Structures are given as C-alpha cells and as structure tokens.
Amino acid sequence: MSNSLHSNPSNLQVLFEDNHLIVVNKRVGDIVQGDKTGDDPLSEVVKQYLKEKYNKPGNVYLGVVHRLDRPTSGIVLFAKTSKALPRLNKMFAEGDTKKMYWAVVKNPPPKESDTLTHWLVRNPKQNKSYAHNKEVSNSKKAVLDYKLIKKLDSYYLLEIDLKTGRHHQIRAQLAAIGCVIKGDLKYGADRSNKDGGIHLHARSLVIVHPVQKESVAFLATPPEDPIWKACISE
C-alpha cells in the first residue's frame, strides 16, 4: 500500500469544520490513532492540517472521539476544543448518534432487511471478534439493522444502521450470516482488495452539535473504485 494513498495535510478530505469540530472522510489504510505500527495516525495529520491552515505556533488541540478500522473508509469526527470533547464522548458512549454504513458483500443476505443481534467476544491476540447467537462469557451484545439497497453484477450493497459500537462489529456480524464484506480476509473473504482495504464505508453520521445544540448531519463519498461507483450511480 503506497503512502500517497493515505491522507496527508494537503490531500485531507475535510467534510465539515467549525470552531469545535472537524469531520474528515478517512481513506482506506489511514489509522485513526497511533498504534504499534508507528504509522502517522489520522489524528496527527489533522493536527498538522490545522496548524498549517491557521499558522498556529504551538500545539494544536484535537480530541479523538471514535475510531474506524484501518481497512475501512468514511466519516471520522474529531473535537477541536476541550469543551466539545467530553460532550461528544458522552454522546457516542450513550448511543445518541446515528451512524449509517455501507457494506458491499458477495452473498445475498438471508432477508432483504433484518435486525441482527449477536454477542461478540474479542480476541486481542488475533485482533478479531467472534459472533455468538447467545450470551457467552466475556461477550458484549451487538445490534445492527441492515437492508439490501442495491444489487450489483456480482455483489450486494447493504445499508447498516449501527445500534451498538463494538470491535469489528459489522464485519463479524455480517460474516456470521454468510455475508462477508468484499476484501475482508480476516472474516472469510476469498481474496483481498488491491488497496488492502475492505468494502465497508462509514457513509453518514448525525449528531447534536456539542455547543450549538442543533442536529448536524455529515455524508461521505465512498472511495474511487468501480464497485463503489456502481453503488452510487443511478
């Protein structure tokens, strides 16, 4: 995966910015927060972008509110002030946000639309979550609604309304119903995508603005590739 594909301060896809928030469209391969790989996280890229944009001499404040898996694309929201961060953290923790994802899967789902409830057990060594149909020890309840919104030539586009935010939740739950996301080797796809990503995209986010108290909605265009293009074409 070449670094030119990753976000940097000059190619950052900013969807929205005001005094308290900055919302970006994360590219496949961007890592939201620093990890053991030592790669530049998106949070640092956004800080650098703000530093350059506003000619800030000192450190830039930026709060990480939520994360997306590295191979996933789409909306990531950051707090620009220490006033906004705890309010946003509370909103996300209590599920007072509306998160909608798109997933491209190879097999048709068992039903056109459904609510999936599983109990997920995370295996940190494998960095993977396992979905169970009933509660088991160390499991966390995971709930999502999905609906089939488009049939492509060889794939199916699902819209996912995420009700809980668990580790690899969408990936594990869809795999559990036989709908592995395109490119997701970890959850059973037969081959990877060229860019090392998976066809899972955080498409929209609705929150109540932490300071202005009004509802704000964000929408992110999927990455440039023929399959995503087919998803958004009429």
pLDDT digit string, tens, across residues 149-192: 999 999 999 999 999 989 999 999 999 999 999 999 999 999 99
Burial class (CB in 10 A: 0-12, 13-18, 19+), 229: exposed
- pTM for the predicted model, two decimal places: 0.94
Residues in contact with 6: Cβ distance below 8 Å, sequence separation at least 6, in sequence order: 27, 29, 30, 40
State the Cα–Cα distance between residues 85 and 81, nearest whole angstrom.
6
pLDDT at 228 exceeding the cut of 50: yes
Q: State the pLDDT at residue 191.
A: 96
Q: State the pLDDT at residue 4.
A: 54
pLDDT at 3 exceeding the cut of 50: no
Q: Which amino acid belongs to residue 64?
A: V
Tokens of 171: 């990936």
**Pseudo-torsion of CA 76, 82, 85, 87, nearest 10°?**
-150
Residues in contact with 158: Cβ distance below 8 Å, sequence separation at least 6, in sequence order: 102, 103, 104, 105, 109, 146, 147, 148, 149, 174, 179
The predicted-structure confidence for 69-90, as pLDDT tens digits, reads as follows 999 999 999 999 999 999 999 9
State the Cα–Cα distance between residues 26 and 15, nearest whole angstrom.
10
Name the DSSP class of 130: E
β pairing state of 156-162 and 140-151: antiparallel
